Structure 1
Amino acid sequence: MSRITIGTAPDSWGVWFADDPLQTPWARFLDEVVEAGYEWIELGPHGYLPTDAHRLSEELAARSLKVSAGTIFAALHRPDHYDEAWAQVEQVAALTRAVGGTHLVVIPGQWRSDTTGEALEPRTLDDEGWRRLASGMDRLGAAIQDEYGLQMAFHSHADTHVDTQDEIERFLAMTDPDAVKLCLDTGHVSYSGGDNLEIIRRYPDRIAYAHLKQVDPQVVAKVKAEDLGFGDAVKLGAMVEPPQGVPAMPEVLQALEGLGRDVFAIVEQDLYPVAPEVPLPIARRTSSYLRSCRLPQA
């Protein structure tokens, strides 16, 4: 059995951008993470938390907090995008490593804007686009390991070209299992009609990391029927605190435990935008609920 290390992320406090007046200030976020009972966090969008490694280390140490991962976006299906992606890696991976993180979560480029819902490019990739995406992620994952000693965890995401379970499976079949692991985001998989337990069962060696998230099936049905963007879905309340949605957390956590290795499972409940007083009570309840699932709270 593996040890599941539970943590949380700025996303659960409504943080999507490095700087936005609608978001909770970073110091309040860190303080409230502690109040909610968590010890592990992700860095969130680069520039939200302090980017000076010494200062960030001091802020974390003052609250006895630890970092699991940083995050970047990489639209490697687009020609000539690798250098832009690597520029993000150089900033985020360096900071992640400096503060003790072990993973870099990589989210593919979105075909639709998460703020306006506007289509920015075709919804699906052609074969050449898939080849660029897969080879680019292989190259990126290997370089992240070689240069920074971090494991890349690829994050399927709504309104990207790796969204549905079929697309996740195609992506996994086309990429190097050593360089490219999967960040299993339970909410995004369910949002797109996938089966989290089946993915864990079929691809146990590819799962290196997890995001714990639930969706409201009724809201998601409305979103799909009206072809709304993910940003609008979040505003409608598509992402809900457990155990109010799907997938069922105890079964997912049990399956992750059965992988036989240590796994970070980071709580993410998309809340952007949200009033500053809303996230903390939700985070407290979520932390308590996860403890009730008989998993160690780390």
Structure 2
Amino acid sequence: MSVKLGINPIGWTNDCMAWLGDLIPLNTLLSEARAAGFSGVELGRKYPKQPKKLKSLLDRHDLTLVSGWYSARLLERDARAEIAAMADHLALMKGCGAKVMVFAETTGDIVLNVGAGFSQRPKVSSAAQWKLLGQRMTEVADYMLGQGVQMAVHHHMGTPIESQQDVDRLMENTGSAVGLLLDTGHMTVAGGDPVAVARKHAARIKHVHCKDVRRYALEACRRRDTSFSEAVLCGLFTAPGDGIVDYAKVFGILSKAGYKGWLVQEAEQDPRVANPKIYAELGNAYLRATAKAAKLRVSE
């Protein structure tokens, strides 16, 4: 099967901590991402948000817009209100040719709360609330597909959809238009097994974030119940191949399932400590080798 390799800019410039990597120019980020061998990039806070400007910028660097994070609040508002709220973001995805949108339910999230440990994250409280969330998300996903963009729900630390059990409940309560973003790092930190999630929900996986986890940092962050930002600064996340995630098994499952989307390196680190250019090169080489072993052909 054919896949493409993309990278998220948070190795260079963090989206949650606006000061982290702030002095790294956008053109440096894009140039280094392309030189490392990636053909696409996800959206970042330094990018222009006008479709023509962004597409022109990426074209100059021979890059494609892979996707872009969207913060939904479907536990608070209905599908019609969400569709209205996401109009500009959806237009940006379409205008730049992105076929998938990273879609995260963020009602009550603690991602930006530097004083809140992972244990304080919000949860979907009842079967009725799961059903309501699923109905609303399916309605939004159906609309997005009609616009030519696939929803890929991002299970993320500090949000209502975080654990392996959350993913199971979400898939049970949503229609086929709702795709899953498998984030190997977030699932590992949440105590789940990305291999098991890939195996169970392979048919629904529409996007993959390849984020690895350092074991020593994971154990320390769990003991201290750190916030998301503190965990990043502690070196919790790293490039694929540099941590404990079993990508060979994950990619093998994706290959058998006929996965044809993006494999996106997404590893937020402190660029003052972890040179983003070096980690981009290391991650790209590892992803190519591991994809090839799993019979996933990398398309440029």
How high is the TM-score relative to the length of structure 1?
0.88
CA-based RMSD: 2.5
1:153/1:181 contact within 8 Å kept: yes
Runs of 5+ in structure 2 lacking a partner? none
Trace 1:126-137 onto structure 2 (pairs within 5 A).
126-127=125-126, 128-137=128-137
Residue of structure 2 equivalent to 1:216: 214
Counterpart-to-counterpart distance in 1, 2:197 and 2:12: 28
Distance 1:65 1:122, change over 3 A: closer
Deviations 1:123-157 (A, max 9, x none): 322114333322221122112122x2100000000
2:130/2:169 contact within 8 Å kept: no
Runs of 5+ in structure 1 lacking a partner? none
Distance 1:135 1:119, change over 3 A: farther
SS of the residue corresponding to residue 203 of structure 1 reads: helix
**Correspondence 1:162 to 2:161:** yes
How far 1:166 sits from its partner (Å)? 0.9
SS of the residue corresponding to residue 258 of structure 1 reads: helix
Deviations 1:232-263 (A, max 9, x none): 11111110223221212222222212211412
SS of the residue corresponding to residue 69 of structure 1 reads: coil
Residue of structure 2 equivalent to 1:151: 150
SS of the residue corresponding to residue 152 of structure 2 reads: strand
How far 1:218 sits from its partner (Å)? 2.4
2:2/2:299 contact within 8 Å kept: no
How far 1:159 sits from its partner (Å)? 1.0
Q: For this pair of structures, how many residues does the alignment match? A: 291
2:111/2:159 contact within 8 Å kept: no
How high is the TM-score relative to the length of structure 2?
0.88
Q: Please tell me the residue identity of whatever aligns with 2:98.
A: G
Residue of structure 2 equivalent to 1:290: 287
Question: 1:66 aligned to 64, 67, 72, which one?
Answer: 64
1:209/1:263 contact within 8 Å kept: yes
SS of the residue corresponding to residue 37 of structure 1 reads: coil
How far 1:17 sits from its partner (Å)? 5.4
SS of the residue corresponding to residue 266 of structure 1 reads: strand
Residue of structure 2 equivalent to 1:105: 102
1:12/1:270 contact within 8 Å kept: yes
Q: Which moved more, 1:14-23 or 1:134-143?
A: 14-23
Question: 1:227 aligned to 189, 200, 225, which one?
Answer: 225
Moved over 6 A (4+): 119-122
Distance 1:231 1:17, change over 3 A: closer
Residue of structure 2 equivalent to 1:239: 237
Q: Which moved more, 1:67-76 or 1:155-164?
A: 67-76
Counterpart-to-counterpart distance in 2, 1:11 and 1:96: 19
Distance 1:98 1:20, change over 3 A: farther
2:206/2:261 contact within 8 Å kept: yes
Instruction: Percent identity, please.
Output: 24
